[in-house]
């Protein structure tokens, strides 16, 4: 806090009034991606040709107005997993930027299925692999061959289809 008071404009009189016992950020800004994963996609078990990761989690977004209430409780999912398409990691209008994690392009209620650590790690693996392929082949992250990305991920042991 002293560093902020000393060096950050506007913080000279700042005071810390409360902190959490632990960090538990569950929702952040999400990109508007080339594809947005929707609640309908998850409910119907939509499959994608550019799947780069799977999530095996269920609905998990508490109602902001009633935190102990799950808005999607009782809503069925067609499959026990959700596919995550590569396009949902690519921000519209920006080349050579890939996101991974809870900033993935999705509807708010769909985010609860995608934001868990195993899915975030799988998205990170896909993002890093895609960046390496783009650099190797002198392409943008949109220009890479998704089939090659998926093949590389499978060689690395990624799970792209349920077992």
Q: 83-127: per-residue pLDDT in tens?
A: 999 999 999 999 999 999 999 999 988 998 999 899 999 999 999
Range of the domain at 75: 29-155
Tell me, yes or no, whether 128 lies in a domain: yes
Tell me, yes or no, whether 104 lies in a domain: yes
Tell me, yes or no, whether 147 lies in a domain: yes
Tell me, yes or no, whether 3 lies in a domain: no
pLDDT band at 63 (very low <50, low <70, confident <90, very high): confident
Give how far the C-alpha of residue 103 lies from the chain's centroid of Cα atoms, to the nearest Å.
5
Tell me, yes or no, whether 163 lies in a domain: no
Task: Compute the distance between CA of residue 146 and CA of residue 48 in angstroms, rounded to an integer.
Answer: 11
Tell me, yes or no, whether 162 lies in a domain: no
- The number of folded domains in the chain is 1
Look at the pTM and tell me if it is higher than 0.85.
no
Q: Is the pLDDT of residue 26 over 90?
A: no
Using alpha carbons only, how large is the chain's radius of gyration in Å?
19
Tell me, yes or no, whether 125 lies in a domain: yes
Tell me, yes or no, whether 74 lies in a domain: yes
Res 8: pLDDT: 83
Task: Compute the distance between CA of residue 153 and CA of residue 78 in angstroms, rounded to an integer.
Answer: 25
User: pLDDT digits over 5-24, tens only?
Assistant: 888 888 888 887 777 676 66
């Amino acid at each position: 806090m002293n560093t902020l008071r000393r060096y950050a404009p506007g913080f000279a009189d700042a005071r810390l009034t409360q902190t959490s016992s632990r960090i538990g950020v569950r929702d952040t800004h999400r990109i508007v991606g080339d594809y947005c994963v929707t609640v309908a996609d998850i409910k119907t078990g939509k499959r994608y040709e550019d799947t780069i990761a799977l999530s095996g989690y269920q609905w998990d977004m508490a109602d902001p107005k009633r935190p102990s209430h799950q808005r999607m409780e009782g809503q069925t999912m067609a499959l026990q997993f959700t596919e995550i398409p590569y396009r949902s990691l690519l921000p519209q209008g920006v080349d050579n930027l890939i996101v991974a994690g809870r900033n993935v392009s999705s509807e708010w209620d769909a985010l609860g299925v995608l934001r868990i650590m195993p899915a975030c790690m799988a998205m990170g693996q896909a993002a890093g692999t895609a960046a390496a392929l783009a650099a190797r082949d002198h392409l943008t992250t949109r220009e890479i061959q998704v089939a090659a990305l998926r093949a590389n991920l499978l060689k690395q042991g990624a799970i792209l289809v349920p077992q």
